[in-house]
Amino acid sequence: MTAVRLAAACLVSLVLLLAGSGVAQAANSPAPPPPPILYTVKPGDTLSTIARDQLGDPGRWREIYRLNRSQIGDDPNILYTGEILILIPGTPRPRVVSTLPPPQASHSGPLPIDTGAASHIKHVFVIMQENHTFDNYFGTYPGADGLPIGASVPIDPARTAGGTVKPYHLSALRTQDLDHSQNSARAAFDGGLMDGFVVTQQHHNLPGSLALGYYNGTDLPYYWYLASNYVLADRFFSSAIGGSLANHQFWVAGLDSNQGETIPAQGIQMTTIFDRLQGAGVSWKFYVKNYDPQLDFRHLDPTNPRDSEVAWVPLLTIPSVVDDPAKRAHIQDLGNLYQDLVDGTAPAVSYIIQGGTSEHPPGHVGNGENATMGIIDSIMRSHAWNDSAIVLTWDDWGGWYDHVVPPQVDREGYGFRVPTLIISPYARKGYILHQTADFTSILKFIERLHGLAPLTTRDQAASDLMAAFDFQQPPRAPSRPQVASAGVVPARGPSAARLLEMYGLVSGLAVLLLLLAGLTERKRRARRRSEL
């Protein structure tokens, strides 16, 4: 009996010890991070009134705008009822990253020059638009790896009976801006299941079904025309499974800053393709539509719709460029490109962004297409055309669906496929390039033309786009459509017929006033004569 009591006492002591340990462990464990404070936009709200009513100071609207810039867009005055805004971020979630290593600086020597390409291509023009996937623009293009028959995405992968959304043709060329942050991209990717595109938008109180919308050749006739006459790449991926800043950084440097979509106060240190070009004595420029030379990482103004150019032109975040007038002089307004083409002084490498006509929702895709057509047509009409290569691409997924699982080559990506067209007198006609590529393939192409050393392990391993060209063929004359793109938003105002009516009315009133003035003058003269 004594042995039984002793055993029982030991058991009770063990239980109490374990319980005490658990209590102590719980007491010592850190408190859960505070969640962000959110606000749902109501009719009539502005950022100032929200800041006044929720934060007690209307002047804090700039804080709200900075926190929600990717959702609100470039104009802080446009809010949509039902949008969920972050008022106070709380403790941010840790970044969701893969277990793969990030891109590393390359220690490779200069790449061998592709003599066939270098003898034919003297001008490279790279145009980057915004926020569309391959399936969103070319998902129904004949012969491409487009939308599969019967494709659908669950509304919520966690609810098997929750229904699905199928791809559908968009009826409007202007849509709401979907969330395209890194967290949303990871959720849409869902470890390669590609089933989170709808639910991740709904988590941001955005219409999840919109993500499955797509355009076709009727909506984008010029881009489809280019595809039928030049090269369409259907395995071209964004470099980072995230947003605009990271992908623009990959576009110029072969890696990102590992800062998400944040530009730190001290700027970002990175070596770019332009450093390589400068060191080799190769001419280059970065053309920016409506360039504001006052903006850089030290001078950001959330009230200025153009301040997004700092993210789109990564050079403006790099102190060694911003503080060097000679280097900064290479960043110029897009208008200078047209003059350079006329003067025959276009540089060997030109990077181009368009700002307000970038096709970034809620921007009108037809207006962006027409603006791009103007740039490409100017190149085609210039002396530079005969030895040029134009790469037209889009920076990130924009929240839109794409069905191809992006290969994960390192910690940052690839991200989802983006549309990419390669236009040149030596480009294969109507060719679909099935070779896997990303923005660092553009870097590799430039490096192969000029014998430059790769920047990172990403561009070192990338394909070089040479398969898009046939340098054995004579240079082709430019192929230009006979009619302009159909997707144009007319300037706000009365129609031509209405203007004629208005002019007629104004003219009639003017004649009537003249008649009345004449009659009044006659009466006045008659009175004077009678008085005499």
Tokens linked to 463 = 């394909």
- In whole angstroms, what is the distance from residue 146 CA to residue 149 CA? 9
Burial of 159 (0-12, 13-18, 19+ CB in 10 A): exposed
Instruction: Please report the pLDDT score of residue 318 as a whole number.
Output: 95
Angle of CA points 233, 236, 239, to nearest 5°: 160
- In whole angstroms, what is the distance from residue 197 CA to residue 200 CA? 6
pLDDT tens track for 115-169: 999 999 999 999 999 999 999 999 999 999 999 999 999 999 988 777 999 999 9
pLDDT tens track for 423-444: 999 999 999 999 999 999 999 9
Whether 261 shows a pLDDT value over 70: the answer reads yes
| Single-letter amino acid code for the residue at 514 | L
Predicted confidence band at 519 (pLDDT cuts at 50, 70, 90)?
low
Instruction: Please report the pLDDT score of residue 31 as a whole number.
Output: 52
Q: What domains can be seen in the chain, in order of their start residue?
A: 37-87 (3.10.350.10), 115-140+217-468 (3.40.720.10)
| Residue linked to tokens 């280019």 | 226
Tokens linked to 83 = 């949008």
pLDDT tens track for 285-327: 999 999 999 999 898 877 776 768 888 899 999 999 999 999 9
Q: What's this model's pTM, rounded to 2 decimal places? A: 0.76
* β-bridge pairing 420-423 and 284-288: unpaired
Whether the Cβ atoms of residue 198 and residue 154 lie closer than 8 Å to each other: yes
Whether 504 shows a pLDDT value over 90: the answer reads no
How confident is the prediction for the chain on average, in pLDDT?
A: 84
